[in-house]
Structure 1
């Protein structure tokens, strides 16, 4: 499906649109589709038949690689953080999706998972699974950034601000590179800390960007009742589902800034919907266990 820019609302003279990258593909949506595009072409060029990558229990990336691999005829292996998850795949919607797509799930301890970038760790995986095309956690590398540069098109040149959630930094790097010099790119990190700036600087070629770090809601995958209410109300008002880990926090932040007058009157704001909706079912399981309200973002 093609993406569309959907008008949402105006506050204090600034207008917000959502770029519906979540509509690209039902399973490989948003930035995951963009990140994988050139990596899969490179894997084919290298005559690789297996993709191996890393992720947590509810990783959008794990799910996307599994689905894309099935569609493109690759064998897929997911190295999953948390050995306690072994044998509990059926209790986890993300891992069940990956398994249904044929992905081999390899569970490792959190201690071992921290070693995933070491050559010795990769060598052990090659000894166990054979040769493979390695996709980093979150999918960010130079080819992923190249794919994310295609998020913006010529029709987006009249927006003053481009906003997106930030995980590993690949998506925003591509957007920065593709943005007009007069456009301002705003990133909303889903994680605490300022380390992402260094990661983005590895790929971003332009200086017209900044990170707004006040909307992580306590850190990665942290969520509270105000955010749940916001996401549910936004879906009710607009019909646009938001995920609670990335896009929900970003859109909350953009609208909060609009209310505070951060954007000059007359500004046109484009917020990038990077997908991630597959994680909602898993998040609802966690919310149910904590007796918190559930997310209602799909019928």
Structure 2
């Protein structure tokens, strides 16, 4: 585990946090009447600008960029991407230039939403691309084309969509180590799969709850583990039933569940990731998916 005073050695001062993040037991009769314990891993409290898995995934990438002498970060995301916001904030804190490639060329002519406006306020340069071009985001040749087109200087560090790469996966492995011995099962919401790939590597058996439709994440988690560790590591599985229509979409049932959870526990639930995760894990508990006595840790990424 990282030292309690801030994470990996040599983390820059503006990004230092207190580790491990809090692990709090929450009495909930949907769990307790089945002999289960619900634990919330409050990674959302790690850093005010880089909450949860954003901190765990971005810090290793930022350190790699600094070590390589790179002064600019280039990354990718949708119009409401928390990853873009976190990257822009990290750039501001460390004095790095940031460029965000945003999916949806049509958005360039519209007023910025609050997420993208926050990116710009933190100094990020936005570049909108057609969705067909955005599909090339994992192609190194496309990143090189973008750098040339945008006139970016040498020393550009490319961070993939969601921040998920080998650096990020190894960073998220610390999350698993923080839960080892304290939980029998760990669960996390999944967008790009990097957090699950790292969490499962050194932690208890892990459950990923995808917030997107498509059924593609299993192969992506496996690929990321191979990239980070050279092969499969740990035990994990995906529960694909709880995307509620897709990314940033919801259902009346999801909203009822989230409102009820907030009323029970006095804790606001972020709707894109955390509400879907807790809906999925609560449903599994009520279906008898966990043996009595199981300690179920839910990672609150914020």
TM-score range, shorter chain: 0.7 to 0.9
Structure 1 stretches of 5 or more lacking a match? 276-299
Separation in 2, partners of 1:126, 1:93: 26
1:126 to 2:147 alignment: yes
Is this contact kept in 2: 1:149–1:174, CA < 8 A? Answer: yes
Deviation at 1:133, TM superposition (A): 0.6
1:194 to 2:212 alignment: no
Deviation at 1:89, TM superposition (A): 4.3
Picking from 195, 215, 227, the partner of 1:171 is 195
Provide the secondary structure at the position in 2 that maps to 1:257. helix
Total equivalences in the alignment: 271
- Normalising by structure 2, we get a TM-score of 0.85
What's the counterpart of residue 7 of structure 1?
25
What's the counterpart of residue 296 of structure 1?
none
Is this contact kept in 1: 2:39–2:298, CA < 8 A? Answer: yes
1:141 to 2:168 alignment: no
The superposition leaves residues 96-142 of structure 1 with CA deviations (integer Å, 9 ceiling, x where unpaired) of 11011010011111122122233442222221223311000111100
Range moving further from structure 2, 211-220 or 118-127:
118-127
Separation in 1, partners of 2:178, 2:163: 26
Picking from 220, 237, 242, the partner of 2:264 is 237
1:18 to 2:45 alignment: no
1:1-299 matches, within 5 Å, as: 2=18, 3-8=21-26, 9=28, 10-90=32-112, 92-127=113-148, 128=150, 129-131=152-154, 132-154=156-178, 156-179=180-203, 183-204=204-225, 205-275=232-302
Provide the secondary structure at the position in 2 that maps to 1:217. coil
Is this contact kept in 2: 1:78–1:104, CA < 8 A? Answer: yes
Is this contact kept in 2: 1:221–1:245, CA < 8 A? Answer: yes
Separation in 1, partners of 2:177, 2:139: 37
The superposition leaves residues 135-174 of structure 1 with CA deviations (integer Å, 9 ceiling, x where unpaired) of 0011110000011111134564131111111111100011
Separation in 2, partners of 1:266, 1:85: 50
- In structure 2, the CA distance between the partners of 1:79 and 1:170, relative to structure 1 (3 Å rule), is same
Is this contact kept in 1: 2:137–2:160, CA < 8 A? Answer: no
Is this contact kept in 2: 1:11–1:259, CA < 8 A? Answer: no
Deviation at 1:66, TM superposition (A): 0.3
Is this contact kept in 1: 2:103–2:128, CA < 8 A? Answer: yes
Structure 2 stretches of 5 or more lacking a match? 1-16, 226-231
Range moving further from structure 2, 34-43 or 220-229:
220-229
Is this contact kept in 1: 2:205–2:234, CA < 8 A? Answer: no
The superposition leaves residues 27-54 of structure 1 with CA deviations (integer Å, 9 ceiling, x where unpaired) of 2100010001111011001111110100
- Normalising by structure 1, we get a TM-score of 0.86
State the superposition RMSD in angstroms: 1.6
- Could you list the runs of 4 or more consecutive aligned residues of structure 1 that deviate by over 4 angstroms after TM superposition? none
